[in-house]
Structure formats: structure tokens, C-alpha cells
Amino acid sequence: MTGHGGVVAAATGAEALSTELPVGRSTGWWGMVMFVATEATLFACLLGSYFYLRFQYGPQWPPNGIGDPELLKPLVMTAVLLPSSLPVVWAEHGIRQGQRWRLRCGLAATMVLGATFLALQATEYAEKLKHFTMTTDVYGSLFYLITGFHGLHVLVGLTMIGWLLATSLRGGSFGAHRHERVRNAAIYWHFVDLVWIAILFTIYLSPRL
Amino acid sequence: MSTTTTPSPGASREDLARLAEHWGERPSLRAWFATVDHKRIGRRYLVTAGFFFVLAGLNALVMRTQLARPEAGVVSPQEYNQLFSMHGIAMIFLFATPMLFGFGNFLVPLMIGSRDMAFPRLNAFGYWVFLFAGLFMWASLPFGAAPNNGWFAYVPLSGEQNNPGLHMDVYALGLLFLGISTTAAAINFIVTALKLRAPGMSLNRVPLFVWAIVATAFMVIFALPALNLDNAMLFLDRRFGTHFFDPAAGGNVLLWQHLFWIFGHPDVYIIVMPALGIVSAVLPAFTRRGVVGYPLIVLSIVAIAIISFGVWVHHMFATGLPQLSYSFFSAASTVITIPSGLQIFAWLATMLLGRLVIRVPLLFVIGFVVTFVLGGFTGVMFALTAFDQQVTDSYFVVAHFHYVLIGGAVFPMLAGIYYWLPKITGRMYHERLGRWAFWLVFAGMHVTFFPMHLYGLFGMPRRVYTYRSEPGWAGWNLVSTVGSYLLAVGLLLVLVGVVHAVRRGRPAPADPWDGDSLEWSTASPPEPHNFPVLPRVHSLHPMWDERTAESVGPGATSDRILSEGRHTLFTSELDAHPERAVQMPEPTLKPLVLAAALLLFFTSMLFAWYPVAAVAALTVAATIAVWLWPPRPLEQDLKVVP
Amino acid sequence: MTSSAARSAGRRRRPRALPAVASLYGLLLLAGCAGNMPSALNPGGTGAARVAGLWWLLFWISVAVFVEVMALLIWALVFRRGNARVRHGQPLRFVTIAGAGLPFVILVAVYGVGLRDLAALGEAPGPDAPAVEVTGHKWWWEVRYPGASGATANEIHIPVGERVRVRLRTDDVLHSFWVPQLMPKTDLIAGETRETWLHAERAGSYRGQCAEYCGNQHAHMAFLVVAQPRADFDTWLARLNAPARSPETDTERRGQQALVQGTCAACHAVRGTTARGRVGPDLSNVGSRWSIGAGAVPNDAGHLGGWIANSQTVKPGNAMPPQPVDAAQLPDLIAYLRSLE
Ligand code: HEA
Ligand code: HEA
Ligand code: CUA
Ligand SMILES: [Cu+2]
């Protein structure tokens, strides 16, 4: 129990040990990491399927005159989503020091960025849907499944963040020694963020290679 | 933890009373639905999976009756196709995996010296989802809407165009639903084994069964997503007109097969690994010594878990892929037999050095060795592409997988049932009845499935609802059918034995076998808190080890009694150094509510009631939000802030 | 201790195990060659013969390893009971050698043989080898020859002793082309073309069957490969190019009328008539085929009548709906179809 010996010494009985002291990795951390591992595998299968179908299809890709995807908007979306991890990190560091205001502000900033991302994605869909839909051909199916599935993850992540924000408004939900849930949600959010890079590469950049 | 060390001879009476109060559940209807006790959940897994086994087995009996004679008309082709599909799906997804997870649920906390799983509520949730998903799929059978495209549901036959109706929607949605349960259980096993091991149980003292369960859980984590994605795409293709599997619009039908078997092959080891773990757990008690080559077996387990992700194409040897890829997957499939061989010979060596105590569990282990080895040999034969192309999709394959599934998984399960029945129910089984059951099951198994090698070689394809008499397969099929009845009688005796034990079996002592692992240090059946004193583990065979015994008697310390609340102990991942005591969750109905909301969601997706599905999805989100709502801070939490 | 124990145990058990193995072997050989069983162990051509050879190699290796395992097991069961003293050693060397070393050596050898056989199976016949095009339908096989206008169904004629290319396509779902006595399986993949080949060493007919589950009548999707001397094959192929046999009797003529003017023509073709449907099998030589409905029933007048009246009772779920043929026309139709050789 190095590093926290003082805390334990201050406690009198076994009971006191049951607080959420940050010793080792918590079960929640492991649980979230495992969950993210299985989700990451899912995305790997999804992107693997994309490349499989693409290379089985033949030289012309995207097919049927759909044309290479525009790059500008996805790059803007990347610019919005990627930095959204920073306020989370900042918030998490804040709450570790008991600074609830940092938690709340950081989470709010992330929510804004994440929501902007989704809004941009909605406008992109609105454009694309005029050209092709999920039922046009296999490219359309892949495009909407992959981006839609990621969008769904962003939405889930935003729900988590929003939930954290809501709970953090109650005093005592989180504190210097009670921030496990913040960390777990943060792991998920970083994951959603990173997956986007893989998607950016697969969907938007790879057809141009 | 030196500050809290106050030596006492075991747990005091007050400690016991407090433990009983914190962990006990007063019997009531609500308590029945709200329980989060891993033992009750484990038992429910066992019973529910057993129930699905009987249903799937009865399907098989109807199939065998239909196949007893050429051109028989016991069932129509449509009925037969649903029967064999549900048989395969239920045996694999609703029986084998959950049954072994049931053993895992009951045993892992007991074997590692913990008071519950890491996430007890998630555990309860996993059970309810399993139950609901199983009922969801089985309910389709009486309506003639059950899946009808085999357990691997190849496209395009499973597509909307070739297979209208609900059949394959039930399949896709049912498996997605069930996947939630399997994933939750897998995560739970991993975290439990990492964080909740008794102090002193470093990695080299973890029971082999626990190793096997953890490796299995890792395989689930990395294999199941492929199946989920496959089913999601199938459902989208069927319902919403996407083209993933539609060659006319650029899709590809082999994508289904690749994704399915990227899951499917690891899945067969997901089934067999915990079963092999049971073998390793049962043997010490009946050979009176530890299993030979513990590190070798751990190595084998890890090796199988990894290599199994690199062999999936051996299920696609006839699809005409490039020979180069075949030679690679053929090599990988050959190599994967080596860890199995190591384990078999480790067990043989254990038997050759130990002293055999011939009781029913050991009989089933011996039956396992004989049968599994034969099934493994046919597996090796398939690994050679040229031979596989001849026998794939014939009854020879059916013979292979029943040898490995029944020999490799069901026999160990039966061994496990007899072995742990005293622990689970607190009653001893009837030995003579058990022996009769063994011999009938063993004989029935071989009479049923051995001939399948022959008529497979003689050209009979699988998944045919009938056959003509000219090719000359009739006689052997009749033998198989007779064998399957024999097998059913044997299994009936197993069931009778269990019921008999529960009803009027002799009360079992805590440790009837003089076993080696920690579950035998608990009462039979274990108290709700499992261990009055969490043991400190000093060896791989803690029950045969004086110092471990002392740690729960005279050497007990209050940091391992933890009677002040519903507590158990977290230890470090590798060396199991104590870290801190944790509050475990109280019984709650939320897992049930969440599972029910999911059931509503999947049912409304099935019947295309999308607004209802949306409401159900919102209910799911709301339930999770409430479930995870942080509790009010404890008083001392405020106190210890530095 | 243990390896010598294994050896002596092996010596003790083998004599007793041998008769059982030998009789199994005999059983396999006997049953495999019996009558018209489409047995992979009774090969009629080079493809299947290779695989049969591989099988016997694998079979004997399995027998040997199984005997080894059983010997150890029985040794333990006989000598390690009662008062046997428990030994606490860790014979890791024995476990590694018997469980990993020996199997590894065996497996490497066997893998090599397997690779050789796979390469042999994959060696396609040259470009000027005779070819046949097979299309899988739910649940029958369409058979065409490049350059020949006609088609037949569920029956593939090949010249004896020659390697014949087979091009495989499917019209709907997956099927699998399997002639156990001639050639292992090749799947028919939707959206793609696959190739395999056939080679028969002796004249005769070899049963084949669809081996990939393809729906309700997967059970009745058999076919026959007829291997005949080159000359006979050529005559047969020439006939496939010519118009179908014309009706000779009044009954047959009435039958032809019924077929051409009735519903049948929408789905079936008869060469030289206006019946040009392509939904069902070409009927131009249906009278001489081995079966009706891809192995569902034998080809005789009674079954033919039953089939036409309501094929759904014969092969439930097949793609030919019950036909509104009136009872008076049926005998004519049967007579005509049977005359088409
Ligand atoms: C419990 C489940 C289980 C297990 C353990 C195995 C084990 C193995 N399986 Fe099996 N398999 C299935 C379940 C299982 N299988 C199922 C369900 C299917 C069919 C799916 C379907 O189509 O419906 C299938 C199908 C299947 C195929 C595809 C067949 C086809 O469809 O054409 C192949 C091909 O390679 C294969 C190979 C193997 C191999 C190499 C092993 C090896 O792991 C076996 C290793 C064990 C031993 C070899 C015995 C012990 C070893 C020794 C005593 C050492 C000495 C040995 C030698 C020298 C050989 N299996
Ligand atoms: C763990 C897996 C498992 C188990 C245990 C079994 C058990 C059995 N299987 Fe199964 N089988 C599969 C997994 C399994 N199977 C799979 C994956 C397939 C492939 C499906 C596909 O192609 O998609 C398959 C396919 C399959 C086929 C091929 C169907 C076909 O291709 O057309 C056959 C045919 O005989 C068969 C038979 C049996 C029989 C007779 C049993 C017996 O062992 C069953 C015995 C059990 C019981 C009988 C129930 C218990 C009985 C009692 C408790 C007593 C009470 C009742 C009475 C006495 C009336 N199975
Ligand atoms: Cu065609 Cu089975
Ligand atoms: Cu496999």
C-alpha cells in the first residue's frame, strides 16, 4: 500500500478500507478496458469487411460513378472530434484534485464538440443521401453502416458525458477519491475518438490511394 | 495491511452473524428475482442450459427417428430443417457455452477465494438476458418460424429473397441479443479472476479451471464481434435492403462465411476449453495428486486461445479459395492439435503416476479421453485440405463434431455435475445409478456417432431430411438411431440421478472427495458469503496445504474476515497482494428490468414495431443511467480526504 | 518409467486390439465397395483415388496413436488402483515428447503428403480438355456442353479416361458439387464461377449429390456422372445437339401438343419445338434420364405421372407447381416424355 500508507494508517478498521481508494486498477477500469477491446474488435471487423468487399469488387471503387468522397467536411469533423478528448482529460485531472468546476466545464466543452461533430455528420448525410443511399449498392451500405455506427458511438459517448455532467451537478457524486466513473467514460470517449481516425482513413482517404 | 492484523481462531460467532446478515437473503419472491448471488445465478445457468439441452436433444431424437429409415415421413422437410437448425443453434449457443459459464459462475469465486463475482449485478443481468434470448429463439419453433438455415446460416440462402418469413430474423436478432449476455459474462470472468483472487493466489497458483475460463473469456471478447457484425449485416440486408451479401450489387457471399468462422472456430474452443478445465479440476481428487505439468497446461490453454484465431478457413476448404491460403490454414489447423496433445498426455501421466479412485466423475473423464481423442483425430484429418474436400459437409463431419462436442464438452460437464453436485446441492448422488448412466451414455454415444464416420465416407451428405435406399446408407442410419435412444436413456438416468440426489440424497460433507481446490473449504452448499474467512493461499493445491488451512483457522485476520459489511477483497492482478476491501452491491431488480427492456426491444425489432423499439431503447438507456447513478458518498469517504 | 511402461503396455494390448481394428478395416473396405454405394473408399478415378490413399494413411496413423493412448489408459486402470503408491514426480519430458514432439513429427510428415495431394487435385486439365458447364438450381442441375446447343439435367456424360473440366455456377444459392467416387467437393458460389475436373478410370455411372445445404430439397439434389467410351460419348453429345426425337404415335403427338401448348412450355424446353422455357430442366432427353427430380424418384411411367400431376407430393417444396393437366391428357404426356430419349 505504498503511497497511501498515510490514509490507511488514519483508518481504524477494515470498514474504512472499503472506500474507493485509488489503489491499483479498479474493477471498473478493467471492465471498461475489456468492453472497449471487444468494441474495437467490432470496428476492426467492420473496416476489414470494407476492404474485403472493396478488393473483391474490382478496380473501380467507389462503384457506379459515386465518385471519391469529398475531403473537406470530414477533415473539419476530425478537427472537431479529435480535440474533444482534451477537455475530458483536463476534467478528469481536475476532479482528481477535487475541482468540480473543472469537471463540469471540461465535460460541457466535450459535449459541445461532440454535438458539433454529429451536426456536421448530419449535414454530410443530407448531401450524400441525394447521391446514394444505403440501398444503392454495397458501397452505400458500407458507407452508411460504418459512419452511422460510429455516429451511434459518438451519441452513446455523449450520453455518458451528459450523464456525468448531470450527476456531477449533485454535490458529492464525484470528488478527489470518487472519480472512477469519470475515468471510465473518458476511456470510452477516447476510444470513440481514435476509431474516427481509422474511419477517416478507410472511408475518406483510402479510395484516393 | 499490518495495521488491521488481529489474530483470532477463525471467524468469531459475531463475525459469522454479521456476515450472515449482510449476505443472506430472506426468501421472498422479490429476493428471488433480485438476487445477485453468483451461486444462485450459476445454478440458474446450469438448470436453464440443461433445459435447453433437453429441448435440443429431443429435437435430435425426432431427427434421428426421421432418418432411421429411407424416405420416412415423420416430419416434413420444412420441419426437419427447423429442427436441425434449432438443434445446432441451441446446443452451441444456448447449451454448451452457458452451461460452462454456469460452472464458471458457480465455481470461479469459490475457487479463487472470493465472496462474489466482480460485477454481481452485471452477472444477474447476463443470466436474465441469456434466459430471455433463449426463450426468444425457442418460442419461434412452435409457430413454425424457427431458424431454418443451419447454425451457420450461409447467405444467400438466409437472405430475404430465398428465405422469406421471420426464420432468419429470429436467428440474427436472437444471437445479437444473446451476445450481450455472453460478452457481459466474459468481461465479468476476466475482471473477477484479475482482481478478486484470495491473497497469495499469484498467477502460478490459479486453478487450471480458472485459467481455462479466463482464456475462454478472452476468446469471447475477440471472437464474438465478428458474429455480431455478421448478424447485424444480415438483418440489415433482410430488412432494410442493404447489399452486403448481394453479389448483384457488389456484395459478396463469402464475407458471411469469413466473418462467421472467424467467430465460429474460436467458438468451438470456447466450448471445449472450460470443459478441459473441468477435467483438470476433477482429476486431482481421483488420482490423489496434482495434474502433471501445470505450466505446460497453462501454456497449452494460452496457445489454443491464440492459434484458434488463425484457422477459420478450414471450414471453407471447398469454396475454391487460392491454394496458397489453403496451405496456410491447413498448417495452422494441424499445429493447433499440439497443445491438445500436450494436455491429453499430461492427464495420462497424471493417471499413470497417481492412484485412481474409480467413481462416476472419473469414469466420465476416462470416457472423455477415449472419445475426445477419436474426435480430435478426425479433426486432424480435416486439417488436410485434400481430405477435407472429400468429407466436408458429409456425415463424417457430423461424426467429428459430435465426438469432440459430446466427448470433449458434454462428458466433462457430466463429470463436473457428479463431482460438484455435493457442493451445489449439498447432497450426494447415487453411485450405482451414476455408473449405469455412464455406461449407457458412453455406449449410446459411440453407437450413435461412430457409424456416421462410415456413411459419411460412403457419400451421405449432412442436412438431408431424408435419403433414398439405393445408396445403401439405411442400415447404418438405423444403428445411429438406436444408439441415440440409448444415449437418451442414459441422459435420462443422469437427470434421474440429479433429481434423486436433490430429493433424497445423503447430505454431503463439506469436502466429500478430499479435493484440492478452495471450493471444498466452504460448506456444502456454500453459505451466501462463501468464506467466513477469505483464505490466504500458499500453494497450487490450497486444500492439501497446511498453511492455507491455518490461514482460515488460527491464522485468520480481520482484514480477511471483513464482516462489517457486504465486503470482499481486491488483490493485485499478478501477485494477488491485498489492495483493499470493497463494498459489494445489494440485491436489485434493475438487471431484470434492463433485460426485460432489451427483450421488448428485440421483439419489437422482430415484428417491425419500430416505435415500440425506440421506446424500449430509451428504457434501456434510462435503466442504465439509474443503475449506475453514483451512491451518496459514505461518511468516512469524506473523513479520509487528505 | 513411463515411456518403457508405455512400450510394454503397447505390446500387451496390441494383440487384443488388432482383431477389432482389422475387422473395422475389413468392414470399411467391404461396405465401401458394396453395390452402387457412392463411397469415397471405392474410387473410380484419379481424384478420389488420391484422397482414398490419403485417408488410409491417416486412418492407420490414427489407429496407431489411439492404440498408444488406450494402452496408457488401460495400464493406469489396471495397475494404478487400490493400494498403488502415489508418485509425485513431474515427468515433463515424457509429456512433451509424447504429447508434442512425436505428434509434431507425424503431423509435419502428414502435412507434406496432404500438400502434395492438394496440389494434385488442383491441377486443372489443359485448355483443350473436354468441358462441361454445370449450373446449380434449387434443386436440380443444369448441364450444358460448350459448343452444343442442347442441355440436359442431373446427368453428366463424360468420356472414360479423359480429364474433363467442369465449370460451376449457381443460379441462386450455394450448392456443392460432389462425386465421392470421382472427385471431392467444389462449392458453387453465388456471383462467381468455380472450376473442378472429373476423371473416371472405368466406365460406369457414379452418383453425385449436392453437399451444401440449399434449402428444403437439398436432400433431393443428386445427379449421375455417366462415364462412357469416347465413341459412345461422341454419339451422345451429337444427339444433344440435334432436335429432340419427334413423336411417332398419335398418343405421343397429342402429348407433344399438350406440352407445347400447355403450361409446361413456360418453364421447360424441348429442342425442335416451341417449348423454350428455361425455368426448369430441359426435357429433350428426359425419357432416358436416370431419375425424375434430381434423384427424387426413379424414372418410370408411374412416377412420371405422379410427378406431372403433383410434383409437390414427390419432392415437397420444389419449384414446379402442381400442373392443371386433365386426366385424359396425362397418359399422352407421359408417353411423349418417355419417348424423348
Ligand atoms: C468442441 C469442439 C471442437 C473441438 C475441440 C474441435 C477440434 C478440432 N477440430 Fe473441429 N469442429 C467442430 C468442433 C470442434 N472441433 C465443429 C462443431 C465443427 C463443424 C462445424 C459445422 O460444420 O457445423 C468442426 C469442424 C472442423 C473442421 C471443418 C470440417 C468441415 O466442415 O469440412 C476442421 C478442419 O480442419 C476441424 C478441425 C479440428 C481440429 C484440427 C481440432 C483439434 O483441436 C483436435 C485436437 C485433438 C487431438 C488431435 C486429440 C488429442 C491429441 C493427441 C492424442 C496427440 C496425438 C495426435 C496426433 C499425432 C494426430 N474441425
Ligand atoms: C454440444 C453440442 C451438441 C450435442 C450435445 C448434440 C447431441 C446430439 N446430436 Fe447434434 N448437432 C450439433 C451439436 C450437438 N449435438 C450441431 C452443432 C449440429 C449441426 C447443426 C447444423 O447442421 O446446423 C448437429 C447436428 C446433428 C445431426 C445432423 C443433422 C443433419 O445434418 O441433418 C444429427 C443427426 O443425427 C445430430 C444428432 C444428435 C444426437 C442424437 C444427439 C444426442 O447426443 C442428444 C441426446 C440428448 C437428449 C436425448 C436430451 C436429453 C434427454 C434427457 C435428459 C432424457 C429425457 C428424454 C427422453 C428419454 C425422451 N446432431
Ligand atoms: Cu443444392 Cu444442396
Ligand atoms: Cu474449426
CA distances from C109 to A92, B377, B384, C58, C116 (A): 59, 15, 12, 11, 11
The arithmetic mean of pLDDT across residues C121-130, rounded, is: 90
Ligand 2 atom with the shortest distance to the CA of B488: 48
Write out the residue range of the structural domain in which residue B286 sits: 39-520+586-628
Q: With an 8 Å Cβ cutoff, are B628 and A181 in contact?
A: yes
The arithmetic mean of pLDDT across residues B90-102, rounded, is: 97
- What single letter denotes the amino acid at residue A73? K
Domains along the sequence of chain A with CATH = 27-208 (1.20.120.80)
* H-state helical runs in B458-557: 474-504, 546-552
Q: Tell me phi and psi for residue B311, to 5 degrees.
A: -130, 5
**How does residue B481 score in pLDDT terms, banded at 50, 70 and 90?**
very high
* H-state helical runs in C89-188: 92-96, 102-122
Q: Which residue has the cell 467536411?
A: A73
The region of weakest confidence among A73-77, A96-100, B172-176 is A96-100
Domain count, chain B: 1
The dihedral through the CA atoms of A116, A118, A121, A122 has a sign that is negative
> How far, in Å, CA of A60 to CA of C245, rounded?
49
Facing residues of C200 across strands?
A: none
What pTM did the predictor assign?
Answer: 0.94
**How does residue A114 score in pLDDT terms, banded at 50, 70 and 90?**
very high
**Angle C329-339/C301-314 helices, nearest 10 degrees?**
110
Q: Is the CB of B373 under 6 A from ligand 1?
A: yes
The arithmetic mean of pLDDT across residues B197-222, rounded, is: 96
**How does residue B136 score in pLDDT terms, banded at 50, 70 and 90?**
very high
β-strand pairing of C222-228 with C155-159: parallel
The arithmetic mean of pLDDT across residues C272-280, rounded, is: 91
Residue with more model confidence, C45 or A21: C45
pLDDT of C13 above 70: no
Chain A interface, mutation test: which of B112, B254, B637, B639, most A Cβ atoms within 10 Å? B637
Summarised one tens digit per residue, pLDDT across range B240-270 is 999 999 999 999 999 999 999 999 999 999 9
In chain A, the percentage of residues whose pLDDT exceeds 90 is 66
The arithmetic mean of pLDDT across residues A89-113, rounded, is: 91
Residue A69 DSSP symbol? P
pLDDT of B552 above 90: no
What is the CA angle B125-B529-B424, rounded to 5?
75
Chain B interface, mutation test: which of A53, A54, A103, A138, most B Cβ atoms within 10 Å? A138
**How does residue A197 score in pLDDT terms, banded at 50, 70 and 90?**
very high
Summarised one tens digit per residue, pLDDT across range C143-188 is 999 988 889 999 999 999 999 999 999 999 999 999 999 999 999 9
Helix%, strand%, coil% for chain A, nearest 5: 75, 0, 25
In chain B, the percentage of residues whose pLDDT exceeds 90 is 89
Asked if residues C207 and C231 have their Cβ atoms less than 8 Å apart, the reply is no
In a domain, B17, yes or no: no
CA distances from B626 to A30, A32, B181, B615, C297 (A): 22, 18, 20, 16, 64
Nine-digit cell string for B327: 496451405
User: Kind and range of the H or E element at C177?
Assistant: strand C175-179
In a domain, B104, yes or no: yes
Q: Is the CB of B315 under 6 A from ligand 1?
A: yes
Domain C131-241 sits in which CATH superfamily? Cupredoxins -  blue copper proteins (2.60.40.420)
Asked if residues B96 and B271 have their Cβ atoms less than 8 Å apart, the reply is yes
> How far, in Å, CA of B530 to CA of C189, rounded?
56
**How does residue C34 score in pLDDT terms, banded at 50, 70 and 90?**
low
- Given a contact as 3+ CB pairs under 8 Å, which chains touch C? B
Give me the DSSP letters along B278-335: HHHHHHHHHHTSPPTTHHHHHHHHHHHHHHGGG-GGGG-TTS---HHHHHHHHHHHHH
Nine-digit cell string for B456: 459419411
- What single letter denotes the amino acid at residue A95? I
- What single letter denotes the amino acid at residue C182? L
Nine-digit cell string for A205: 482517404
Closest CA to C208 of C194, C221, C190: C221
**How does residue A67 score in pLDDT terms, banded at 50, 70 and 90?**
confident
The region of weakest confidence among A34-43, B21-30, B322-331 is B21-30
CA distances from B341 to B291, B294, B300, B352, C95 (A): 15, 14, 9, 16, 9
Q: Is the CB of B407 under 6 A from ligand 2?
A: no
pLDDT at B526: 94
pLDDT at B70: 95
pLDDT at C323: 87
In a domain, B636, yes or no: no
Nearest CB to A34: which of B1, B191, B236?
A: B191
Q: Is the CB of C218 under 6 A from ligand 3?
A: yes
Q: With an 8 Å Cβ cutoff, are B358 and C81 in contact?
A: yes
User: Kind and range of the H or E element at C267?
Assistant: helix C264-267
Closest CA to B18 of B555, B522, B523, B532: B532
**How does residue A100 score in pLDDT terms, banded at 50, 70 and 90?**
confident
Nearest CB to B162: which of C41, C172, C189?
A: C172
Mutate to test the pocket of ligand 2, among B78, B82, B84, B446 (most ligand atoms within 8 A of CB): B84
Q: Do domains C131-241 and C250-339 have the same CATH topology?
A: yes
Asked if residues B368 and B336 have their Cβ atoms less than 8 Å apart, the reply is no
pLDDT of B157 above 50: yes
Asked if residues C146 and C83 have their Cβ atoms less than 8 Å apart, the reply is no
Distance from the C137 Cα atom to the nearest Cα atom in chain B, whole angstroms: 12
Judging contacts by C-beta atoms under 8 Å, the chain A residues touching residue B186 are 34, 38
Q: Is the CB of C320 under 6 A from ligand 3?
A: no
The arithmetic mean of pLDDT across residues B528-548, rounded, is: 92
Q: Give residue B144's Cα distance to chain centre.
A: 28
Beta strands in C29-150 (DSSP E): 131-137, 140-144
- Report the CATH number that the domain containing residue B68 is assigned in CATH: 1.20.210.10
User: Kind and range of the H or E element at B610?
Assistant: helix B610-628
- What single letter denotes the amino acid at residue B394? S
Judging contacts by C-beta atoms under 8 Å, the chain B residues touching residue C63 are none
pLDDT of A195 above 70: yes
- The arrangement of secondary structure in C250-339, i.e. its CATH architecture, is Sandwich (2.60)
Residue C226 DSSP symbol? E
Q: Give residue B410's Cα distance to chain centre.
A: 11
pLDDT at A174: 83
Task: Say whether residue C258 is in contact with chain B using an 8 A CB cutoff.
Answer: no
**Angle A180-199/A72-81 helices, nearest 10 degrees?**
160
Q: How many residue pairs from chains A and B have C-beta atoms closer than 8 A?
A: 185
pLDDT of C98 above 60: yes
pLDDT of B12 above 90: no
Distance from the B337 Cα atom to the nearest Cα atom in chain A, whole angstroms: 26
pLDDT of B365 above 60: yes
ipTM of the complex, rounded to two decimals: 0.93
pLDDT at C84: 84
pLDDT at C30: 61
pLDDT of C3 above 60: no
Closest CA to C132 of C141, C145, C142: C145
> What residue spans define the domains of chain C?
40-79+90-123, 131-241, 250-339
CB under 8 A, 24+ apart: contacts of B16-23: B16/B532, B16/B563, B18/B563, B18/B564, B19/B527, B19/B529, B19/B532, B19/B561, B19/B563, B20/B527, B20/B528, B20/B529, B22/B529, B22/B563, B22/B565, B22/B566, B22/B567, B23/B115, B23/B527, B23/B528, B23/B529, B23/B566
Q: Is the CB of C212 under 6 A from ligand 3?
A: yes
> How far, in Å, CA of B399 to CA of C174, rounded?
23
Q: Which residue has the cell 472427495?
A: B513
Task: Say whether residue A155 is in contact with chain B using an 8 A CB cutoff.
Answer: no
Nine-digit cell string for C274: 416451341
Asked if residues B93 and B228 have their Cβ atoms less than 8 Å apart, the reply is no
User: Kind and range of the H or E element at C205?
Assistant: strand C204-210
pLDDT at B360: 96
CB atoms under 10 Å from CB of B129, counted, come to: 27
Asked if residues B357 and B288 have their Cβ atoms less than 8 Å apart, the reply is yes
pLDDT at B636: 47
**Distance between start and end Cα atoms, chain C:** 74
CB burial class (10 A; 0-12, 13-18, 19+) of residue B60? buried
pLDDT at B111: 96
pLDDT at A4: 38
**How does residue B5 score in pLDDT terms, banded at 50, 70 and 90?**
very low
Nearest CA to ligand 2 atom 31: B463
Nearest CA to ligand 1 atom 9: B379
Facing residues of C298 across strands?
A: C291
Closest CA to B137 of B78, B193, B179: B179
In a domain, B528, yes or no: no
Q: Is the CB of C185 under 6 A from ligand 3?
A: no
Mean pLDDT (chain B) is 93
Nearest CB to A30: which of B191, B562, B628?
A: B191
pLDDT of B622 above 90: yes
pLDDT of C81 above 60: yes
The arithmetic mean of pLDDT across residues B571-581, rounded, is: 91
Q: Tell me phi and psi for residue B323, to 5 degrees.
A: -60, -30
Mutate to test the pocket of ligand 2, among B65, B83, B87, B167 (most ligand atoms within 8 A of CB): B87
